[in-house]
Amino acid sequence: MLTLLSTLASFLTGGLPKLLELFKDRGDKKHELEMMRISIERETQMAERGFVAQQRIEEIRADAAAAQAAASERLALYKHDTDIGKGASQWVIGLRASVRPVITYCMFFMLCTINGFGCWYAVKQGVPFDDAMSMLWDEDTQALFASIIAFWFGSQAFESRARR
């Protein structure tokens, strides 16, 4: 029995340093993994911050490039319009200049006519006035009217501010 106990004790004490080293190694690796996780998390946060800032800078540059391209395109269109008008009579130049305003006037008068006749017909048919107006002056009509007004008066406001 003593032989069995001494053999078992020898076996356990012989393996004890390995067992302690295993626990120590496990603790060290756990600590290293935790440190690596913290380091990766910190690097990820820094990369995200840097990437977000870099991405925002690229968006600003892209917006500036798009604005510059739009301005260049507009200048080229103005130059083209001016070049086409060279050598033409004043009557042709005036006619060309009046195309957009005349189309706008026609759209405005068509809108007024359709809404006026629609309101007259609705009231004649016995539709209450507020119901008729909600059908005639709906969101789409308001958007159309607002875009026409904003096109003419909004561009003038921006041009007058640009001149200041």
pLDDT digits (tens, 9 = 90+) for 42-101: 777 766 776 666 667 777 888 888 888 888 888 887 787 777 778 778 888 888 888 888
Task: Assess whether pLDDT exceeds 70 at residue 143.
Answer: yes
Nearest-angstrom CA–CA distance, 108 and 154: 17
84 closest CA partner among 71, 99, 69, 70: 99
pLDDT digits (tens, 9 = 90+) for 86-96: 877 888 888 88
> pLDDT higher for 2 or 9?
9
Looking at residue 145, its pLDDT comes to 81
Looking at residue 124, its pLDDT comes to 92
Q: What mean pLDDT comes out for the span 18-33?
A: 71
As a three-state string, the secondary structure of 13-78 is: HHHHHHHHHHHHHHHHHHHHHHHHHHHHHHHHHHHHHHHHHHHHHHHHHHHHHHHHHHHHHHHHHH
Nearest-angstrom CA–CA distance, 6 and 87: 120
